[in-house]
Chain A
Amino acid sequence: MGDRGLLLEFGDEISREINEKVRRMALAIQAEILEGIVETVPTYRSLLIIYNPTVLPIEGLKKRLELIEEGLRQTPLPQPNLIHIPVVYGGIYGPDLEGVAKYHRISQEEVIRLHCSKPYLIYMIGFMPGFPYMGELPQALVTPRLKTPRLIVPKGSVAIAQRQTGIYSMESPGGWQLLGRTPVELFYPDKDPPSILQMGDFVQFSPMTEKEFENWSV
């Protein structure tokens, strides 16, 4: 990607196997602390490496990456964390819950039950600080994006789009279907790491009442 970005592609689909390779490679590169590597951006199926070509010429970078890739199987992956995220579903908190239920011809309770029916893998953090792209949704919940994106999606909104589910960690425009909202703060600029969720971790949603939501404190 240009003269400072090298894009490593591990496949062309959303799959756990491909995503695990991306993550393994990103961790292995980060463990090396190579001078001249500015940034690694691991996503669903690719890993973008931003480098400084005046410090680390591209041939040298490619050679180092080949060596890292050869030793990749030995790179241990950290044990994934399971993070519980309570959600108040529907109403003003999840204005699309009703529409999603209608779309699938099931009850709103059934949408909530399905959304909380299993832990989701975090494939990547992206789009905005701390926003987790997670999957896969149960087949019965697979829903297209909104035709017209909202100009403002409130912070904490829990949303779905196609086979994915995510959480808007900040207020922003957005086109995903909003099922509910969580009071959990996902991103702390002053902490290290700043995001409480990380690629490779799992998230389990559970319903909470409006009262619990209002009384929530950190």
Chain B
Amino acid sequence: MERIAAFEVLEPGILATIQDSGRFAFSQFGVPPSGASDTFSLRVGNLLVGNREEGAGLEITVMRFKIKALREVVIAITGGDLSPVLNEEPLEMWRTHLLVEGDVIHFKKVRTGCRAYLTVGGEFAVPKIMGSSSTYLSGKFGGFEGRALRRRDVLYAFDIPSPLNKLGLRFPSDWLPLWEKEEVLLKVIPGPQDHHFTEKGFQTFCSSSYRVTPQCDRMGVRLEGPKIERRSDVEESIISEGLVSGAIQVPGDGKPIIILTELVTGGYTKIATVISTDLQKAAQLKPGNHVRFKPVSIEEAHLLLREQEERLREFKENFQKR
């Protein structure tokens, strides 16, 4: 398919990368999934502009990212609210918009969350590495030349007729993930090494409020708070094993770390894992936020996931009729 120049980066902001839903089946070679930290928001963003839901979008972190349209494009902005404006006018999130050549979108400051997603009709066009368009920052490959976007980068999209029939469509606001203002609640499934901690330690984990530290990136979110007590008869580290995003590691200092998308294996004990439908909240944590963990059963987690997928399917089907 033809590629056309769609945007020019005016200000790169804190961090902006091209991400799709992730790079899979290469863990056995040490390659982490990468991809959007908040895949739910990316998927909705893609559906809004008529793309396949796994398609490549822009992940924009925190603020100061500014981009100029080089032609007519249909876009949507989802994820964390970073106060996006179009030519200095507030831009409604979770709906489609038409941009014309010269329009400027600017993410001014954080209101809620940490990461916004900008999707474009036709999808961002970058070479696929191992089947994925995602940027793997520490591996320096994938996405846009394996790196974060810089000023004057020109982003290409596949040249498709603008999905004008999608304009003005919204994702139902009551289907959006609920974001607690004071303290984010993350549902978790205990294990696989929850038995490495004392009963008291596990209680500490479930009953305490943890604060997000500045050590917070696409690899993981390091938390500060009450120390989780370990059993004295087990070692601090385990023999390295695979990781899934949402896994909560507790290293020797007893402070939890929530793993996101750029790690593949690890040798720290994992007390629990954030359930799939709460991953979008974990990915939107930023320094200073408070979180609390609540253990649930795997059956409940699967039920919530099925409900979410059902809603997305319904949205997609109604949408495609347009």
- A contact residues vs B (CB 8 Å cutoff): 1-5, 7, 12-14, 26, 38-48, 50, 53-54, 57-58, 124-131, 133, 169-170, 172, 187, 189-190, 193-195, 198-199
Contact = CB atoms under 8 A, between A and B. Distances in A.
Given A13-B239, A45-B241, A169-B30, 7 more contacts: A2-B301, A48-B27, A48-B244, A53-B302, A130-B29, A189-B141, A198-B28
A38 B23 CA distance: 10
A2 to B, nearest CB: 3
Given A2-B275, A126-B264, A189 B139 contact: yes
B265 A126 contact: yes
Nearest to A23: B28
In the complex, the 7 A-B pairs of residues with the closest C-beta atoms, listed nearest first: A41-B242, A2-B273, A48-B242, A126-B265, A3-B301, A195-B29, A5-B244
A129 B305 contact: no
B158 to A, nearest CB: 21
B305 A41 contact: no
A1 B247 contact: yes
Interface string B262-304: 0011000010111110000000000000000000001001100
A22 to B, nearest CB: 10
Interface residues on B, range: 35 or more
B130 interface: yes
- Give the interface centre of A1, A2, A46, A172 by most chain B CB atoms within 10 Å: A2
A194 B240 contact: no
A147 to B, nearest CB: 13
Interface SS of chain B: helix, strand, loop or mixed? mixed
Interface string B230-252: 00000000011111101100000
B111 interface: no
B265 A194 contact: no
A153 to B, nearest CB: 13
B12 to A, nearest CB: 23
A45 B26 CA distance: 19
A39 B26 CA distance: 8
A54 B139 contact: no
A44 B275 CA distance: 26
- Give the interface centre of B24, B29, B33, B302 by most chain A CB atoms within 10 Å: B29
Contact of A190 (B24, B129, B138, B302): B129
Contacts of B130: 189, 194
17 contacts: A1-B273, A2-B189, A2-B244, A2-B301, A43-B240, A44-B239, A45-B241, A48-B27, A48-B242, A124-B265, A125-B28, A129-B29, A129-B30, A129-B31, A170-B138, A193-B29, A194-B26
Contacts of B298: 3, 58
B246 A43 contact: no
Contact of A41 (B246, B264, B272): B264
A199 B26 CA distance: 13
Nearest to A45: B239
Contact of B273 (A5, A47, A127, A130): A5
A172 B262 CA distance: 13
Contacts of A190: 129
Nearest to A189: B141
Contacts of B26: 194
B105 to A, nearest CB: 31
B144 to A, nearest CB: 14
A121 to B, nearest CB: 15
